[in-house]
Structure 1
Amino acid sequence: MLAKRPKYTEEDLETILVTREQIQTRVEELGVELSKFYEGRDVTIVSILSGALIFTADLIRSCDFPTRLDCLRAESYGNATSAQEPPRITNPLKTDITGHDVLVVDDILDSGNTLKSIIAHLEGFSPASLKTCVLLDKPARHEKSFSADFCGFTIPDQFVVGYGLDFAERYRNLASIGVLKKELQDSATHI
């Protein structure tokens, strides 16, 4: 007999911080903000894998300017609930960004270490401009003086999943963003 597999649903959340509807509304608003900011320019969007993939896809559809898309993978969490230092860039860009306007899209600005490392890495390619857009910002966790240029939501210092954000590669499929129950964060058997 096959063992029953966990479903990884919103029932595993202690609380929902950002609903599907709030996400949709804010992503559309960010698209308008970015369209005004980048009016008349082509932009290379660099999505940070894997957490920002869903956000990036929705954001691009909300923007009204020509885009090129590339992805960069930076590993900072692994199977933990807090970022490991230093983050590693494990998947380089395939697109030449020299002389191009670049917008880095990430899921969450937590300690700031990952995004700061990515920006330093990309500056080495001499883009015309380099801006950041994050879905979530946790200012209480910032270790370095770094802030995103565009931000969807500011959230408290809690471990969140959903809408691309994961715990050990689970929960990315949730349409809302919420706090994973503490016992599930601590339970290796749940994964």
Structure 2
Amino acid sequence: MKIVSSFMRKKGKHVRRRKVVSKPLPSGNHLRVIFDSGRIRRRVQELARQINRDYAGKTVHVVGILGNCFLFMADLVRLLRPTVVCHFVKAEMHDQPSGDSSVREIVFTPRVDVADKDILLVEGIVQTGVTLDHLVQMMLAQKARSVRTALLIEKTDERKVDVPTDYVGFKTTSKFLVGYGLGYQEKYRNLPSVAALAN
């Protein structure tokens, strides 16, 4: 079965991180720390300084892409000095039969009014870049004044789309990352560090 991408818009939907004390990782799990909590804290502070300079005197609409972003975004926005308005969207994939092929839709809910606004998209991890690129292009088409991206982690070996990455915490090729908001089967999101989950 051939899989193709098709992006559409549906009614009501869009289609087409303070001091952190490190805690030991849970025993019995095959986890290896990649970025510890102290390193993450320092990097988030560095990103916040860059964002504060770039958005000085502006209102920034921070749009978090659920669910990997939530700890990163919470720590980041508390360090921002411009006026901040927070929004959240969730991306869902739907494969719809279309003859002998399947059409994949990317659906974003809820709708965010971005017209004439400066948008900062916040994502926990970017791999292929397809979903993030679609959201960027969609917001630009809806007349956002500007759209920039802030990523905790960029997986450099899995990129399929050349999506802009304006503020990047870390770049890595490590597989199966969990912690600091990143989850596997909805587990490990509460860990203070980012770790690699072994098979």
Q: Could you say what secondary structure the match of 2:157 adopts?
A: helix
Give the equivalent residue in structure 2 for 1:89: 107
Aligned-pair Cα RMSD in Å: 1.9
Q: CA distance change for structure 1 residues 86 and 116 in 2, over 3 Å: closer, same or farther?
A: farther
Provide, for residues 56-80 of structure 1, a one-character-per-residue CA deviation record: whole Å limited to 9, x for no partner. 110001111101011010136xxxx
Work out the CA distance in 1 between the residues paired with 2:77 and 2:27: 26
Letter of the 1:18 counterpart? F
Work out the CA distance in 1 between the residues paired with 2:127 and 2:105: 12
1:103 alignment partner, one of 99, 102, 120: 120
Higher helix fraction (1 or 2):
1
- Is 1:113 the counterpart of 2:125? The answer is no
Q: CA distance change for structure 1 residues 63 and 10 in 2, over 3 Å: closer, same or farther?
A: farther
Contact persistence 1:18–1:177 (CA under 8 A) = yes
Letter of the 2:183 counterpart? D
Give the equivalent residue in structure 1 for 2:180: 163
Contact persistence 2:154–2:171 (CA under 8 A) = yes
What is the TM-score when the length of structure 1 is the normalising length? 0.81
Identity of aligned residues (%): 28
- Post-superposition offset of 1:119: 1.1
For this pair of structures, how many residues does the alignment match?
Answer: 166
Contact persistence 1:140–1:157 (CA under 8 A) = no
1:25 alignment partner, one of 42, 46, 60: 42
Work out the CA distance in 2 between the residues paired with 1:111 and 1:153: 16
Where has structure 1 moved over 3 Å in runs of 4 or more?
none
2:150 alignment partner, one of 133, 141, 148: 133
Q: Could you say what secondary structure the match of 1:28 adopts?
A: helix
Contact persistence 1:89–1:118 (CA under 8 A) = no
What is the TM-score when the length of structure 2 is the normalising length? 0.78
- Post-superposition offset of 1:39: 0.7
Higher strand fraction (1 or 2):
2
Work out the CA distance in 1 between the residues paired with 2:27 and 2:133: 32
- Runs of at least 5 residues in structure 1 that lack an aligned partner in the other structure: 1-7, 77-84, 183-191
Give the equivalent residue in structure 1 for 2:92: 75
- Post-superposition offset of 1:180: 0.8
Q: CA distance change for structure 1 residues 137 and 105 in 2, over 3 Å: closer, same or farther?
A: same
Q: CA distance change for structure 1 residues 48 and 54 in 2, over 3 Å: closer, same or farther?
A: same
Provide, for residues 110-156 of structure 1, a one-character-per-residue CA deviation record: whole Å limited to 9, x for no partner. 11111112112222321110101100011111012224111000111
- Post-superposition offset of 1:36: 0.4
Work out the CA distance in 1 between the residues paired with 2:115 and 2:108: 20
- Runs of at least 5 residues in structure 2 that lack an aligned partner in the other structure: 1-24, 94-102
Deviates more, 1:55-64 or 1:9-18: 9-18
- Post-superposition offset of 1:87: 6.5
